[in-house]
């Protein structure tokens, strides 16, 4: 008997009707003879609403308590889904992340899965039940406190469980028909990819294509577990995230597989930094000590007359004020002139394994930006990715221009967004 893990995102379980629709879908999988484990997210925008609530009672909510609060969202949907399934005549048992054996580090708000001990899930399956697991949460190995895995983390719960249970596939059900060549919310002519490699999907997810949580892709690659991203609102075949592209197929040969964008970052510029060994190390060590993740870094050539340079870097906007005050504290020690903070930036990334063997991608990309009137402020690259930073107001226009410039537009509109607010 096959074992399948199915994950349903918030927009797929936004209200009672949706929960019943999803329950029917799960029941059909079970009745087709498979063992079924379901991972479910909080209903609709519940997580955002809970965060708002926390901010109303405290400007800086305590991490432990915030995690305790947020995990309640997934507990609501898991119990309702189990009830809806039993109403269809099948046995379903719900489990919190902790009960399902999702063991994590103790960093509240972005804990990492370090072990999965799904004994209770296996028991439920052996007894013929469908197991429903609350996504996005676990329990810390050392403190035993409840943790969350970061926004979008239910995808990672699903893949981690699928790997631990040796499932045949992890199905991620969402509000679009698969992974598209760009976010269907801003590029209506985006194409659905039949398949995408772990390598490309990692770059897409890391660059802001939130259709899959980055960690879930890392996990799937480590265990070579296929992910099938598809819609819970249609029966269409979705996108397979796999190790290698299958032979043939037109999209598979495209130089660019997809374009991701990200409007959630900010830029800090440190102006007039003395250009000598050890200064950059001092700045970035202080930021790392505060556990702030930075993304792109650019350092200008120092002006010959002054020996001073400017250093800019991007980081999640949510960390912006914390990082600014950390750098500010170094001003006396390092002697830089000033700090500038810019939260009106956007990032655009072109991703494709074909870039390795095709020169000229950067030139085409920049030409497309020029004709769209988009000014490039920062650039970074990997072997299969080119990213730029531009004004946030220009991002959507820039994505559309690059999409057309690389011939990614579909002949017929296939990018349907079935639900969700896209927050």
Give which of ligand ADP, ligand ASP, Mg ion, none residue 11 binds (C-beta under 5 to 8 Å, depending on kind): ligand ADP
User: Does residue 80 interact with ligand ASP by CB under 6 A?
Assistant: no
Q: Which residues contact 286 (CB under 8 A, 6 or more apart)?
A: 326, 327, 329, 330
Q: What is the number of the residue whose Cβ is closest to ligand ADP?
A: 9
- Which range binds ligand ADP by CB under 6 A, 96-104, 362-370, 405-413, 415-423? 415-423
Give which of ligand ADP, Mg ion, ligand ASP, none residue 199 binds (C-beta under 5 to 8 Å, depending on kind): none
Structural contact between residues 265 and 314, judged by C-beta atoms closer than 8 angstroms: yes
Binding residue (CB under 6 A) for ligand ASP from 135, 178, 238, 272 = 135
| Shortest Å, Cβ 213 to Mg ion | 6
Instruction: Compare residues 109 and 354 and give the one whose CB is closer to ligand ASP.
Output: 109
- List C-alpha distances in Å: 326 to 8, 98, 283, 319: 39, 35, 9, 11
Q: Which of residues 174-233 bind ligand ADP (CB under 6 A)?
A: 174-176, 179-180, 182-185, 209-211
Give which of ligand ADP, Mg ion, ligand ASP, none residue 309 binds (C-beta under 5 to 8 Å, depending on kind): none
- Which range binds ligand ASP by CB under 6 A, 41-49, 121-129, 190-198, 336-344? 41-49
Instruction: Tally the C-alpha atoms within 13 A of residue 60's C-alpha that lie toward its C-beta.
Output: 4
Quick one: tokens of 385? 């990715």
Site string for Mg ion, 5-34 (x = CB under 5 A): ----x-------------------------
Structural contact between residues 344 and 393, judged by C-beta atoms closer than 8 angstroms: yes
Place of tokens 């597989």: 257
Structural contact between residues 334 and 282, judged by C-beta atoms closer than 8 angstroms: yes
- List C-alpha distances in Å: 163 to 116, 131, 145, 157, 285: 9, 15, 24, 10, 35
Tell me: is residue 381 an annotated ligand-binding position: no
Alpha-carbon gap, residue 221 to 203, rounded angstroms? 13
User: Does residue 272 interact with Mg ion by CB under 5 A?
Assistant: no
| Shortest Å, Cβ 207 to ligand ADP | 10
Tell me: is residue 194 an annotated ligand-binding position: no
Binding residue (CB under 6 A) for ligand ASP from 47, 104, 195, 392 = 47
Structural contact between residues 398 and 366, judged by C-beta atoms closer than 8 angstroms: no
Instruction: Compare residues 156 and 189 and give the one whose CB is closer to Mg ion.
Output: 156
Q: Which of residues 247-286 bind ligand ADP (CB under 6 A)?
A: 258
Q: What are the binding residues?
A: 7-10, 47, 74, 174-175, 185, 210-211
């Amino acid at each position: 008997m096959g074992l399948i893990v199915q994950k349903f995102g918030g927009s797929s379980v936004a209200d009672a009707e949706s929960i019943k629709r999803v329950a029917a879908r799960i029941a059909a999988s079970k009745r087709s003879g498979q063992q079924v484990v379901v991972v479910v997210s909080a209903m609709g925008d519940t997580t955002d609403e809970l965060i708002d609530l926390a901010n109303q009672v405290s400007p800086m909510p305590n991490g432990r308590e915030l995690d305790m609060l947020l995990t309640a969202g997934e507990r609501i949907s898991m119990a309702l889904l189990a009830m809806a399934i039993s109403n269809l005549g099948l046995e379903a048992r719900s489990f919190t992340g902790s009960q399902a054996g999702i063991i994590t580090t103790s960093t509240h708000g972005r804990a990492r899965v370090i072990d999965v001990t799904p004994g209770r899930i296996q028991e439920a399956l052996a007894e013929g039940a469908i197991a429903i697991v609350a996504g996005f949460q676990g329990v810390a190995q050392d403190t035993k406190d409840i943790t969350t895995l970061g926004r979008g983390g239910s995808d990672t719960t699903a893949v981690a469980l699928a790997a631990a249970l040796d499932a045949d596939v992890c199905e991620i059900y969402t509000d679009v028909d698969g992974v598209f060549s760009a976010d269907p919310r801003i590029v209506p002519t985006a194409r659905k990819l039949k398949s995408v490699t772990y390598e490309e999907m990692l770059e897409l997810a890391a660059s802001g294509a939130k259709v899959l949580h980055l960690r879930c892709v890392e996990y799937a690659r480590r265990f070579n577990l296929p992910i099938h991203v598809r819609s819970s609102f249609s029966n269409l075949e979705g996108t397979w995230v796999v190790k290698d592209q299958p032979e043939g197929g037109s999209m598979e040969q495209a130089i660019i597989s997809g374009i991701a964008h990200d409007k959630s970052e900010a830029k800090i510029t440190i102006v007039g930094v003395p250009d000598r060994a050890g200064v950059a190390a001092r700045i970035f060590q202080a930021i790392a000590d505060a556990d702030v993740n930075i993304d792109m870094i650019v350092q200008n050539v120092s002006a010959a007359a002054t020996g001073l340079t400017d250093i800019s870097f991007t980081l999640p906007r949510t960390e912006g004020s914390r990082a600014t005050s950390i750098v500010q504290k170094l001003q006396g020690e390092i002697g830089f002139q000033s700090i500038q903070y810019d939260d009106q930036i956007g990032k655009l990334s072109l991703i494709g394994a074909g870039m390795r063997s095709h020169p000229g991608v950067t030139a085409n990309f920049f030409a497309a930006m020029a004709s769209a009137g988009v000014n490039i402020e920062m650039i970074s690259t990997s072997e299969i990715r080119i990213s730029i930073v531009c004004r946030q107001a220009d991002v959507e226009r820039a994505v559309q221009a690059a999409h057309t410039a690389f011939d990614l537009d579909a002949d017929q509109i296939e990018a349907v967004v079935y639900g969700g607010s896209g927050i």
